[in-house]
Amino acid sequence: MDTPWIAALFALFVWWFSTGAILWVVQRADGRGRGAHGRVVLGALPVLVAGIAGAIVTAGMPGAAYGGFLSALAVWGWIELSFLTGCVTGPSRAPMPFCVTGAQRFRAAWRVIAWHELLLTAGLVFFWALAFEGNPTGFWTYAVLWGARISAKLNIFLGVPRINAEFLPRPLAHLPSYFRQGPVSWLFPISILLLTAAVYCWIERSIFTGDVQFALLAALTGLALLEHWLMVLPLPDAKLWSWAIPAPKTKMPEGGAKNGL
């Protein structure tokens, strides 16, 4: 586990599996009636507690890189779960109202995600404080996730050619009205440039120091860069989590049952 390329593969697998697990849980809560989403968030509270405790306990210990990385993902994952279930979103849950100016559109969009963004930022402050206690990997892991997510949301708001709205669960069915599908905005090349520079820096540090924390961060930042490119490239990225999203039910033809055994 002290080998950088093994650490990078570990980061890739944990990101893929944890993302799929969240989608799997939320999608199945969609079909379980009223209150199911809230029960999912409460049931996942041990993940949040484990993330907070892990970030504190592993600070300054051997293996703190992996501990900080997993702790940051646990806290981030629970907050994302609370958002996707509709439990922590914003003061507004309505579709985009009629807006004349871009500033009005931005304020309307902020109202549907405000509490979620504030909670994510509170998590960033928490890991920033722990960085001084010997857990810099936890902070940088969370900071990469936070910065990349803010960038992705702003790009989707300003305009990108491809948006995977099929991943959105029922509590967030109003969100696509705030998206803008079309040519990329001025922000997209800046986001690509910054993420590419960050990947280069992490890889350079990993090569010259051999520290696995930089390999973990390089893999995670590379995934964020890929996520941005998938907003413009026509690639079937949704197939990565086909196991986590239930297949649509086939409607039976009127007047009879489906053929079969």
Number of residues that this document lists for the chain: 261
Residue 159 in 3-state DSSP? coil
The kind and range of the H/E element at 59 are none
The percentage of residues in the chain with a pLDDT greater than 90, rounded to a whole number, is 70
Model confidence pLDDT, tens digit, residues 110-122: 999 999 999 999 9
**Closest residue by Cα to residue 169 from 115, 244, 232:** 244
Cα separation values, 37 from 25, 81, 103, 154, 169, Å:
9, 9, 32, 26, 10
Model confidence pLDDT, tens digit, residues 158-198: 999 998 777 788 889 999 999 999 999 999 999 999 999 99
**Closest residue by Cα to residue 148 from 226, 201, 224:** 224
Model confidence pLDDT, tens digit, residues 52-63: 999 999 887 777
Q: Which two tokens stand for residue 8?
A: 């990078």
Tell me how far apart the alpha carbons of residues 141 and 73 are, in angstroms, rounded to a whole number. 8
The dihedral built from the CA positions of residue 119, 125, 131 and 132, taken in this order, carries a sign that is: negative
pLDDT in the model for residue 258 = 33
pTM (2 d.p.): 0.91
pLDDT in the model for residue 261 = 26
Model confidence pLDDT, tens digit, residues 114-158: 999 999 999 999 999 998 888 899 999 999 999 999 999 999 999
Residue with tokens 């922590």: 88
How many Cα neighbours within 13 Å face the side chain of 118?
10
